Amino acid sequence: MKTWFLTIATIVVCSLSAQAQITIVNPTFVDAGARVTITPGAIMYIGGHAEIRAGRVDVQSLGRLIVEGHCSIWEGGLYLFGDGTGLIRGDLEIKFDGVCWRYKPGVLTIEGTIYNYGHLNNDGEINIGR
């Protein structure tokens, strides 16, 4: 199964500092409680920012998640299993009740900064920066 999201052109205004949480306005992708699963071979591409406000996003082995903007996890989590990969072009923010779990052996790349208030678990590889 392939899952994708299509958004319309969006104007995003962000205000952030290097040492404060990121604020995403008008995210491209919002998970408000659903369980989103990216199955093997599928690509979930988010052209802007992503928020997981509840629920979870599972990237199964050999699945791919690409977020071109920032990613914020409020509750629930982002789980990458096996060889499932993730690429976040912007920052990753894990809120107090958020979880990001990178199982082995795959790679999660965050080209920006990880802001972690919650739980960041890594059994595989996490690359920070470009």
Torsion over CA of 55, 121, 124 and 18, rounded to 10 degrees? 90
With binding defined as CB under 8 A, does residue 62 bind other proteins? no
Site string for other proteins, 11-30 (x = CB under 8 A): xxxxxxxxx--------x--
Q: Give the integer Cα–Cα distance in Å for 67 and 69.
A: 5
Query: Can residue 102 be called a binding residue for other proteins (CB under 8 A)?
Result: yes
Residues contacting residue 39 through CB under 8 Å, at least 6 positions apart: 1, 2, 3, 60, 63
Q: Applying CB under 8 A, does 40 fall inside the site for other proteins?
A: no
32 binds other proteins (CB under 8 A): no
Q: Cβ closer to other proteins: 37 or 113?
A: 113
- For residue 106, count CB atoms less than 10 angstroms from its CB and return exposed for 0-12, middle for 13-18, buried for 19 or more: buried
State the minimum distance, in angstroms, from the CB of residue 63 to other proteins: 15
User: With binding defined as CB under 8 A, does residue 122 bind other proteins?
Assistant: yes
The region of 33-41, 54-62, 72-80, 100-108 touching other proteins under the rule CB under 8 A is 100-108
